[in-house]
Amino acid sequence: MTAELQQQILQSFLFLCNEINMIDNSTGETFYPMPYQEITECIYELEFEFSAELNSVIEGLIEPLKKLLKLDGLPIEEAKTELNRKSVHILNAYKRFVSHNNY
């Protein structure tokens, strides 16, 4: 995605937010009353979902992938578990980041 396209998307988003009063800056801080946590959970769950179909593709690419992710030397099943563990960790960290809650 080009910087110009990103700028256009951002401008469109802000325009829509203004039109439907989705920007609240009554406290002096800008806030968009949107379900950030739900949105990011959906994105990250899709991003890191290791389906059976994807795993079959990964089988042929697992060695380079393990090297890239520093999982060298692990059996394939362990590597998949480790990949899922890392994805769950990333999702949980992001949830904490966007939900403004203390866990």
pLDDT in tens, 58-70: 565 655 655 666 6
* Residue 23 and residue 51 in one domain: no
Q: What is the mean pLDDT of the chain?
A: 66
The pLDDT confidence band at residue 83, using thresholds 50, 70 and 90, is low
**Sequence-ordered list of residues with C-beta below 8 angstroms from that of 17, at least 6 positions apart, any chain:** 23, 32
17 and 63 inside one domain:
no
Task: Identify the domain containing residue 97 by its residue range.
Answer: 35-103
Q: Is residue 20 located within the same domain as residue 41?
A: no
With beta carbons less than 8 A apart as the criterion, state whether 55 and 80 touch: yes
| Whether 28 and 43 share a structural domain | no
Same domain, 52 and 87: yes
Residues 99 and 56 in one domain: yes
Do 98 and 51 lie in one domain? The reply is yes
Residues 6+ apart with CB under 8 A from 31: 23, 24, 25
Clarify whether residues 28 and 40 are in a common domain: no
**Does the predicted model carry a pTM greater than 0.85?**
no
Q: Which amino acid is at 77?
A: E
CA distance 23 to 102: 25
